[in-house]
């Protein structure tokens, strides 16, 4: 036909095969049959097929000629007798157990994802008898009719040797509706499982990269620390170059090198190493000086300790003579305060003055500057001069009810400030008086921390401050330099305390050898007792 004189026929029967295809062996009849059967089965698997059973009446294709033996044989082999008996019993649906379970298995937990039963027959029964699975009653939509074997309800089913039978079409319709409703849920389960699988893969990749990154980072960071600590072998150039090469390779692959926190941290560590290396020479010299200073102090301490042990073995009159001799060789301030016992931790204490940090908390400087400017404007200078801070630290103020309140004591060249600072960075003024009105200070002879400020025309200020020696010395020096007079210092174990106008209280001090510190107690409304131990 491809050589026909008709152009249309030639076009229809045109051979479009390639040269290689033409050279191939043509398919045999069995191959063509096998291919067609495979295509047919593929199409049948993708749908619900319905078969039309055809019976051949004779072998000669003659009309109106019926061969009874041939027809009976076909009816017997096609199973029409059994099918008619099933239909006659009223069953509208029959299906082998395996396809039935495959189609409806996910309607029950007993059959999905894997059947719990060992046979398809038992699995089909478990599926249909699952709680909550049934047929809606057409007369009452809210009532659910369960599936029951060989019953007279809409949920009737029967079991054959290889098939399961449903009597009513409503039962099959109910199963299909439940299947359609359940499919989206199963799809979501499969999607979630797939996402979890993909996330686990991504997490494993991330964990591997994170482990590689931080192992190389930790190696470089530890090397920086080891070089700073002068660990032997840490400064080996080949070792340092190797770990840095590994770090640069990994960081370039996994990090944004320009904005990475880890890269900045390592850069900072290297800068610190350089600074520490330069400081080590200065620190070594400083430490040697401190060591020599401690060595000299140890020699002095040993001498004093041996002297103390010797004096404790002396008689009382000889002890008093030694004490007078010791007062003669002390400094002027210690001779002046020789009437008061000293605490052990305050003998060699260095005076700092500012124990809070006025530079760290500028609010204290603002209060001081405000009073300084007020004094300058009053004197007509237009602007106050900056005053020097003599003392600044946290203390405990004692009020007229003997309550100990946390306060901040600030002393400048012209004023004494009693500040309340619940938050150390936010002080508030509670009381301010000029230093010129300070008539004196009072303290006991015991090694306690109580100090009373006597103010002319005002009530007293009583505080508990651990740097009382430093405070008194600073006040005496300022009064002598700024006002040309000595500051009166009163020593007594029974002191008067003017806590409020017209209210005079008493503070008593007593030594108790059994105590290791000092404690106060309220005797009555007008008296407080302070017991001081060996401190």
CATH number where 489 lies: 2.30.29.30
Tell me the sheet residues that pair with 409. 393, 418
130 conformational bin, left if phi > 0, alpha if psi -120 to 50, beta if neither? beta
- Is residue 115 domain-resident? no
- Is residue 212 domain-resident? no
CA–CA dist 518, 520 (Å, integer): 7
CA–CA dist 490, 337 (Å, integer): 10
* Per-position b or e across 378-417, b if 16+ CB within 10 A of its CB: eeeeeebeeeebbbbbebbbbeeebeeeebbbbbbbbbbb
Question: Which pTM was predicted?
Answer: 0.41
Q: What is the predicted pLDDT for the residue at 379?
A: 40
Distances (CA, A) of 48 to 42, 105, 176: 12, 17, 13
Q: What is the predicted pLDDT for the residue at 362?
A: 86
Q: Are the C-beta atoms of 415 and 433 separated by less than 8 Å?
A: yes
Number of domains in the chain: 1
Q: What is the predicted pLDDT for the residue at 299?
A: 92
Query: What angle separates helix 169-228 from helix 97-104, to the nearest 10 degrees?
Result: 60
Q: What is the predicted pLDDT for the residue at 233?
A: 85
- Is residue 48 domain-resident? no
Distances (CA, A) of 420 to 63, 124, 396: 124, 84, 10
What are the residues whose beta carbons fall under 8 Å from the beta carbon of 12, sequence distance 6 or more? 1
Q: What is the predicted pLDDT for the residue at 378?
A: 46
Q: What is the predicted pLDDT for the residue at 383?
A: 46
List of the chain residues with pLDDT < 70? 49, 85-91, 324-338, 343-349, 373-385
Question: For the segment 410-453, what is each residue's pLDDT rounded down to a tens digit?
Answer: 999 989 999 998 888 889 999 999 999 999 999 998 888 899 99
* Per-position b or e across 56-91, b if 16+ CB within 10 A of its CB: ebeeeeeeeeeeeeeeeebeeeeeeeeeeebeeeeb
- Is residue 430 domain-resident? yes
Range of the structural domain that residue 429 is part of? 362-532
DSSP string, 142-165: T-EEEPEET-SSTTEEEE-SSEEE
Q: What is the predicted pLDDT for the residue at 385?
A: 62
CA–CA dist 499, 209 (Å, integer): 72
Tell me the sheet residues that pair with 419. 408, 429
Q: What is the predicted pLDDT for the residue at 326?
A: 63
- Is residue 127 domain-resident? no
- Is residue 444 domain-resident? yes
Question: For the segment 146-165, what is each residue's pLDDT rounded down to a tens digit?
Answer: 888 887 888 788 888 888 88
- Is residue 179 domain-resident? no
- Is residue 163 domain-resident? no
């Amino acid at each position: 036909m491809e050589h026909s004189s008709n152009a249309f026929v030639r076009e229809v029967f045109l051979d479009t095969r390639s040269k290689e295809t033409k050279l191939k062996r043509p398919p045999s009849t069995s191959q063509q049959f096998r291919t067609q059967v495979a295509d047919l089965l593929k199409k049948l698997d993708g749908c619900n097929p319905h078969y039309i059973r055809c019976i051949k009446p004779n072998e000669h294709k003659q009309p109106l000629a019926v061969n009874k033996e041939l027809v009976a044989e076909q009816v017997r082999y096609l199973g029409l007798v059994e099918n008619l008996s099933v239909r006659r019993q009223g069953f509208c649906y029959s299906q082998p157990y395996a396809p039935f379970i495959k189609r409806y298995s996910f309607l029950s937990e007993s059959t999905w994802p894997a059947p719990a039963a060992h046979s398809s027959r038992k699995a089909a029964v478990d599926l249909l008898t699952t709680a909550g699975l049934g047929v809606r009653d057409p007369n009452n939509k809210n009532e659910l009719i369960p599936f029951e074997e060989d019953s007279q309800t809409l949920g009737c089913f029967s079991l054959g040797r290889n098939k399961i039978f449903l009597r009513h079409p409503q039962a099959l319709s109910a199963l299909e509706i439940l299947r359609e409703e359940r499919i989206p849920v199963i799809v979501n389960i499969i999607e979630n499982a797939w996402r979890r699988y993909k996330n686990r893969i991504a997490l494993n990749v991330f964990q591997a990269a994170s482990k590689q990154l931080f192992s190389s980072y930790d190696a470089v960071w530890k090397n920086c620390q080891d070089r700073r600590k002068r660990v032997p072998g840490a400064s080996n150039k080949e070792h340092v170059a190797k770990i840095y090469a590994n770090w640069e390779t990994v960081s370039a692959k996994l990090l944004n090198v320009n904005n990475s926190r880890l890269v900045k941290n390592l850069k900072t560590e290297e800068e610190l190493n350089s600074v520490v290396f330069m400081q080590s020479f200065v620190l070594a010299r400083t430490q040697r000086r401190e060591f020599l200073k401690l060595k000299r102090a140890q020699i002095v301490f040993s001498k004093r300790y041996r002297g103390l042990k010797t004096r404790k073995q002396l008689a009382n009159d000889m002890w008093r003579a030694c004490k007078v001799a010791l007062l003669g060789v002390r400094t002027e301030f210690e001779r002046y305060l020789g009437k008061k016992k000293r605490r052990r931790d305050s003998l060699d204490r260095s005076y700092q003055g500012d124990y809070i940090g006025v530079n760290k908390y500028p609010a204290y400087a603002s209060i001081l500057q405000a009073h300084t400017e007020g004094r300058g404007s009053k004197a007509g200078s237009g602007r106050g001069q900056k005053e020097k801070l003599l003392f600044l630290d946290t203390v405990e103020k004692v009020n007229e009810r003997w309550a100990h309140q946390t306060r901040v004591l600030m002393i400048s060249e012209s004023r004494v400030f009693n500040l309340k600072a619940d938050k150390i960075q936010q002080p508030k003024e509670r009381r301010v008086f000029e230093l010129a009105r300070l008539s004196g200070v009072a303290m006991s002879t015991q090694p306690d921390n109580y100090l009373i400020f006597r103010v002319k025309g005002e009530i007293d200020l009583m505080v508990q401050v651990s740097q009382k020696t430093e405070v008194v010395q600073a006040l005496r020096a300022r009064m002598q330099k700024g006002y040309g007079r000595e500051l009166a210092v009163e020593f007594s174990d029974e002191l008067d305390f003017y806590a409020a106008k017209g209210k005079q209280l008493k503070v008593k001090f007593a030594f108790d050898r059994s105590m290791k510190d000092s404690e106060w107690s309220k005797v009555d409304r007008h008296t407080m007792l302070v017991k001081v131990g060996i401190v």
